[in-house]
Structure 1
Amino acid sequence: MDTQQITAYLKDKDIKKIKFAFADIDGVLRGKLINSDKFLDGLKDGYGFCDVVFGWDSSDACYDNVAITGWHSGYPDKYCRIDLSTLRNIPWQNDQTFFLADFIQADGSSVPACPRSLLKRIAADCESMGYHPEFAQEFEWFNFNETPQGLQDKEFTKLQTISTGMFGYSILRPSQHSGFYYDLFNLLGEFGVPLEGLHTETGPGVYEAAIEHDHVLASADKAALFKTAVKEIASKYGIMASFMAKWNADLPGCSGHIHQSLWNKDKTENLFHSASDTNKMSDLHKHYLAGQLHCLPHVLPMYAPTVNSYKRLVEGAWAPTTITWGLDNRTTAIRIINDTAKHTRLETRIPGSDTNPYLAMSAALASGLYGIKHKLELTIPPTVGNGYQNKTNGVLANNLEKAAIDMQQSVIAKELFGDDFVQHFTNTRLWEWRQFSKQVTNWELKRYFEII
């Protein structure tokens, strides 16, 4: 819609208020509710937002190590702009009108800390090369019979999942919460986040959803909205949904795998497929894969952004630990699916459900394009069998501090995303590590309190 069309739409539907939101560096949606007059007034020049939204962490604690904003700048306003193409209604909130926004400066340049703007730039680069980027993210998450206040009162101990036992792909378990289960599928579809599938995963109270594939920006929008939507729908049933990568040491972690392929501009040909190749992979596909493998150590925090992310990336836990790829191999970092020309794609398996979809997809697409631009040869052979044992090409960093320092010092990361973004993002990750390092954990108390 243009401004004239959206004005007519609001008048026709008698819409008096609009909700909008944008994703911060952690992928947390920040936004507000505004009246229709303010909405229309801001369509040209944007809406002022205190830029502390780029200067604090997921708990609203202000960073002490970022240059883009801080006490030194006085936390002024920056202007976000609503993307009219993201119009949707929220069916579980009386069809409240909703838009997504991002931060684009008056001269058209992006704010370096804005994840959606970063992905828009990389997607535009991809399209300028003649490719249509088709992406999808899938999520696993655990559901609990808990409330926010209850969790605080019990100090996040003895959490109760909505079901017990290891019931992957169970038909029985969802039927015991059929209202919640079918509301997820149906309401997400009405919200413009349609699912290809929804099922239980192995573990107590854990679900997995595959979101329908789309253009990379629309796909990231859907993924970001999915996480908040699931939490809001769950709350209607007294359920809390958690997208932590690994909430319990004895249970599987939660993935956020990203599927991707490049097509011609009119989406009639999957450019990753080659009928004449042994593995049905085109040269373009091989360059793209080589780029992802090559760039992986340089962009890892964009796939694994929290301290907790690395608790999932351990051997034998259905998450990769090595720089590997394979044909339909779920033990490698990158899995190639090549069963048909239409479905040929690459699945990046490093991301967990705690990812910021805009940053994870930016990392995947930019790395793949790097391989295409530099015509990188796929010199790493496919892993057959156990990818955890194939350490020939290196292993992933095992904690957030190391991964963030590696990215901060990387020439490749700066080439892909720009120095301003790399410095800001990695400093936020190092802040996250420092907050964790100061804590005294239950493990330490149990291990040392009496015996040492």
Structure 2
Amino acid sequence: MKGKYKKEDIIRIIDEEGIEFIYLQFTDILGVMKNVAIPAQEISKALNNEVAFDGSCVDGFVRMEESDMYLRPDIDTFCIYPWGGAFGREARFICDVYNPDGTPFEGDPRFILKKVCKEAEDMGYKMYIGPECEFFLFHTDDRGKPTLITHDDAGYFDLAPIDLGENARRDMVMTLKKMGFDIEASHHEIAPGQHEIDFKFEEALYAADKIMTFKSVIKIVAKNHGLHATFMPKPINGIPGSGMHINQALYSNKNNKNVFYDELDKYKLSKIAYNYLGGLIKHAKSICAITNPTVNSYKRLISGYEAPVYITWSSRNTSPLIRVPISKEENTRFELRSPDPSCNPYLALAVILKAGIDGIKNNIMPPKNIDKTINDMDEEYRDKNLVESLPQSLNEAINFLCDDEVIKGALGKHIFERFVEAKKIEWEEYNKSISSWEIEKYLTRF
């Protein structure tokens, strides 16, 4: 919530609550949370934006000769951890990264999202997000290393005693609530050991902050229960992978009304909504590079496992890329079903919003909705209806990204170049590796 705290409030709370250590957190280009820890006595220095760090040590940031970076805490993200540390109580801020000259660092993913949100704001809109985050809980071995052994044999919406992870998930929900999350729902997902926790709509920037916090909390609580939580998109062959569906809507800056809603339309969608949808579909292939950023991501985006494959939209089934849930007025939204939780949420929301903005600015209309399920669409039907497919590999998605000037513009030159460089290296490493499947398939055959 913007304007929640003032600097003097923070100093007073830290003193009253006996906080000993404070973590200044930020996120690198690849979506990994980093932090600089300071003793509570240094809080004034942090609030005056005087805490520096070596940016050359962070993936994708800067070269050695440009290493000095400064952390500026967003005081509205102040949060006291509900657990005690080894040396006392702890709190955190999420920070923006700045250059020594006082300008925002263009390699900071949070800055990229803020920049695109400002573009939407100048058009009269603000983006609200409701993420649906899925993850797996696995046993660890005697050395504490994660295994692929699930803790249950439950399925969709099952309860204890079949769902043995229910206690862990309940602890996760309670911990998140203590940290300011408004939890909408939590349940067991379709695959054994797979779970989902959804939190309510929030402005895009703070939704991205919460996704990063969410992933950290889930891992910590799972470890306390002797389990390993993973947001890897597809850890086990033959069962559905983990997605992070993004429910999204635009609201008016003037009256805070949902601008996607039109009572007179067949699907209750406004002209703005259709244009936004058209932008999402136009840029769907290049967006994949950011929303599905790993080699493993594309093992999830295959037919038969609850994940989208074709670039379609529908209000009547759950198989398309974009679903329009049945809703009224303020709940009108689009659900983008391709993203997975390995993505950097700041970059993912930035490119999604940028695609929608492009649709609005250029009056892009979406293709006709497809209400058939994936299994009912044969090749002839897809060709006749011009139904295209999402990228089938990270390399293919990166190539689409490189050809999309709108999405490249959203990322900015610095992040675009370093992200593509890192992902090309990842793709080359993958191609050079020998998988267990290859050994099993070919070792004795030839």
TM-score normalised per structure 2: 0.91
Question: Which stretch shows the higher mean deviation, 80-89 or 431-440?
Answer: 431-440
The answer for the alignment partner of 2:78 in structure 1 is: 87
Deviation at 1:37, TM superposition (A): 3.3
1:149-228 pair list within 5 angstroms: 149-151=143-145, 159-164=148-153, 166-173=154-161, 176-228=164-216
The residue number in structure 2 matching 1:3 is: 7
- Residues 141-179 of structure 1: per-residue CA shift (max 9 Å, x gap): 111111594437xxx5xx211112x52101234764443
Map 1:240-279 onto structure 2 (within 5 A): 240-265=228-253, 268-279=256-267
Moved more, 171-180 or 84-93: 171-180
- Hey, what does 2:31 align to over in structure 1? 27
Q: In structure 2, what is the Cα distance between the partners aligned to 1:26 and 1:360?
A: 11
Deviations 1:232-286 (A, max 9, x none): 0111110111111101111111110000001122664211000011110000101
2:245–2:338 contact (8 Å) kept in structure 1: yes
SS in structure 1 opposite 2:91?
Answer: strand
Whole-Å Cα distance in 2 between the matches of residues 250 and 101 of structure 1? Answer: 40
Distance 1:324 1:421, change over 3 A: same
Aligned-residue identity in percent: 27
> In the alignment, does 2:298 pair up with 1:310?
yes
Pick from 112, 135, 138: which aligns with 2:132?
A: 138
Structure-2 separation of matches of 1:283 and 1:243? 36
Check if 1:39 corresponds to 2:43: yes
Stretches of structure 1 lacking an aligned partner (at least 5 in a row) = 57-67
Deviation at 1:420, TM superposition (A): 2.5
Distance 1:80 1:21 in 2: 9
Alpha carbons of structure 1 residues 89 and 45: separation in structure 2 relative to 1, 3 Å: closer
In the other structure, the counterpart of 1:60 is none
Aligned to 2:113: 119
- Give the length in aligned residue pairs: 432
Whole-angstrom CA distance in 2 between matches of 1:173 and 1:322: 37
Secondary structure, aligned partner of 1:192: coil
Alignment partner, residue 376 of structure 1: 364
The letter of the residue matching 1:140 is E
Q: Deviations over 1:22-60 (max 9, x none)?
A: 11122221113211233321323342222235436xxxx
The alpha-carbon distance between structure 1 residues 148 and 335, as it changes in their structure 2 partners (threshold 3 A), is: farther
CA distance in 2, matches of 1:75, 1:309: 33
8 Å CA contact 1:174–1:200 kept in 2: the answer is no
Please list, as runs of the form range in 1=range in 2, the aligned pairs for 1:351-430 lying within 5 A after superposition: 351-378=339-366, 380-387=367-374, 389=377, 390=382, 392-430=386-424
Letter in 2 for 1:258: I
- The aligned residue for residue 288 of structure 2 is 300
Q: Distance in 2 between matches of 1:74 and 1:9?
A: 39
TM-score by length of 1: 0.90
Q: Sort the Cα spacing of 1:359 and 1:50 in 2 relative to 1 into closer, same or farther, 3 A.
A: same
Contact 1:145 1:162 (C-alpha < 8 Å) held by counterparts: yes
Match of 1:64 in 2: none
Deviation at 1:115, TM superposition (A): 1.3
1:374-432 per-position Cα deviation (integer Å, ceiling 9, x unaligned): 12123x00011124634624211111112112212322222333233221211121122
The answer on whether the counterparts of 1:147 and 1:238 sit within 8 Å (CA) in structure 2 is no
Give the direction of change, closer, same or farther, for the CA distance of 1:244–1:127 in structure 2 (3 Å limit). Answer: same
Q: Is the CA contact 2:325–2:333 (under 8 Å) kept in the aligned structure 1?
A: yes
